Structure 1
Amino acid sequence: MSEPGGAPAFYGDLAPWWPLISAPDEYAEEAAFAAELLAGAQPPTRTVLELGSGGGNNAHHLQQRFAMTLVDLSEQMLDVSRALNPDCEHLQGDMRTLRLGREFDAVFVHDAIEYMTTEDDLRAAVATAYAHCRPGGVAVLVPDDIAENFEPSTEHGGRDAADGRGVRYLSWSTDPDPADTTTVTEYAFLLRAPDGSVQVAHDTHTLGLFARETWLRVLGEAGFEARSVAEVTSEDRLPREFFVGRRP
């Protein structure tokens, strides 16, 4: 997840705890589904730019098929990803304004795209994807929710480390104003240090929420040939919609 919008502590001071909050093995199935869409470039995909790469959990799986360049706004999260994915290129940057001056076979943006809270932000991020996607290449964007399927929810999780550290968290997602383009997720963390002491942290995330039509329109306006693809998943949750753009 880590992208613009108020620099949540999740991606700053709490970044070293990320492997205990969200583990790479939890991403295997979704990354495999994304890989099939990313592989749709002509000629075949070899290089992939991931925007908002966070702790690198998706890249951990995708690098088995593609040469990955990972970009995130948070240097702390990039440090986490470097430890997990030492063979990947890591760069700091904002997905709304990044310009590397080179093109890739495919561009991937996972749920970090949800930190685009206005249509202007979304349009800027899609323009970045287009600018880095070669002709014949593809872009794959994966919001957790779209306006048609958002429902208030809670989640909990966390795990322990061999060094005695541990995390337990609770998240609570709501839509305080259905008339705007944002939702809010509140996080509460219990963080146990190796000496057994426990601290409590709270973090608020404001996320963008757009209708399917908006996603497809913004991709089309950027120059992509756009479509939506329903995720196939064995997890007990609503399948996500993957938005796929092909650059002519």
Structure 2
Amino acid sequence: MTEEYRFYGDLAGWWPLISPPGEYADDAAFAASALESASVPVRDVLELGSGGGHNAVHLKRRFALTLVDLSPPMLDVSRRLNPECEHVEGDMRELRLGRAFDAVFVHDAVDYMLTEDDLGRTVETAFAHCRPGGAAVFVPDHTAETFEESTEHGGADGDDGRGARFLGWTWDPDPDDTWVRTEYVLLLREPDGSTQTVHETHRTGIFSRDVWHRLLTGAGFEPLVLTRSDGADDAPRDLFIGHRPA
């Protein structure tokens, strides 16, 4: 899980430079439309695996958000960006808040579910917190049908003289298992000009559309998959919506 990775631990304070909030605007807008596909008016939204709150920066304009993450340092980053939102430390596989929401949102933090059991428990958590007539939206980076080996890069400079750049390289060492591997290299620059380089290996889950459909149905949702492609050079991305019957 994410607590194993420095990205979400001692390096969490760099997250707004590694993956700036502005880069989440399109994903958040697409997710908001999916959340509003619920058959009830959507105001109160639970986000599982909210990380540094970069989706919340955009979604809070439309919804009242409760943000849940496993990493206290990432929650601290999010609180600075989204002080008006409720923040809760918790594991998306086990969380039970004892209240229901109009909709539940799980962005790419769901990628850290490496087994069908963990993914199923996350889907069950979403169902337990989704009111009748509500919807749950899951946005994994990959499914078995859409996965392609890829590289990515990014980063930004801060107003305080710090800067961050990263390179990521993702591939599937064994197509017969349920995870893929990403090698990240970070270059972090302090205000005094000194730099450090960090290398980290992440494992993230990959499941077929059939598995997603089965787990959503098994939890009690009526499932729907939407496939989105942002352009000819971008691999398609599946978004899963679970509607809870009214």
TM-score by length of 2: 0.97
Q: Which residue of 2 aligns with 1:217?
A: 214
CA–CA separation in structure 2 for the residues paired with 1:23 and 1:234: 21
1:72-221 mapped onto 2 (5 Å cutoff): 72-221=69-218
Where does the alignment leave 5 or more consecutive residues of structure 1 unmatched?
A: none
Contact 1:182/1:207, CA 8 A, preserved across alignment: yes
Contact 1:30/1:233, CA 8 A, preserved across alignment: no
Q: Amino acid of the residue matched to residue 164 of structure 2? A: V
Q: Which residue of 2 aligns with 1:240?
A: 237
Question: Deviation string for 1:74-130 (max 9, x for gaps)?
Answer: 010011111111111110000000000000000000000010000000000000000
What's the offset of the Cα at 1:230?
Answer: 1.8
Question: Deviation string for 1:141-168 (max 9, x for gaps)?
Answer: 0001100111111111111112111111
Root-mean-square deviation (CA, aligned residues, Å) is 1.2
Give the secondary-structure state (helix, strand or coil) at the position aligned to 2:185: strand
CA–CA separation in structure 2 for the residues paired with 1:201 and 1:10: 10
Question: Deviation string for 1:219-240 (max 9, x for gaps)?
Answer: 0000000010122636951231
Q: Which residue of 2 aligns with 1:37?
A: 34
Where does the alignment leave 5 or more consecutive residues of structure 2 unmatched?
A: none
CA–CA separation in structure 2 for the residues paired with 1:234 and 1:144: 16
Give the secondary-structure state (helix, strand or coil) at the position aligned to 1:129: helix
Identity percentage of aligned residues: 63
What's the offset of the Cα at 1:43?
Answer: 2.1
Contact 2:104/2:129, CA 8 A, preserved across alignment: yes
What's the offset of the Cα at 1:29?
Answer: 1.3
2:13 maps to 1:16: yes
Q: Amino acid of the residue matched to residue 154 of structure 1? A: T
CA–CA separation in structure 2 for the residues paired with 1:244 and 1:18: 28
Count of matched residue positions in the alignment of Structure 1 and Structure 2:
245
CA–CA separation in structure 2 for the residues paired with 1:185 and 1:159: 21
Deviates more, 1:14-23 or 1:223-232: 223-232
CA–CA separation in structure 1 for the residues paired with 2:201 and 2:106: 22
Give the secondary-structure state (helix, strand or coil) at the position aligned to 2:211: helix
Contact 1:168/1:189, CA 8 A, preserved across alignment: yes
Q: Which residue of 2 aligns with 1:64?
A: 61
Deviating 4+ runs (over 2 angstroms): 231-236
TM-score by length of 1: 0.96
Against the structure 1 CA distance between its residues 79 and 234, is the aligned structure 2 distance closer, same or farther, given a 3 Å change threshold?
farther
Q: Amino acid of the residue matched to residue 5 of structure 2? A: P
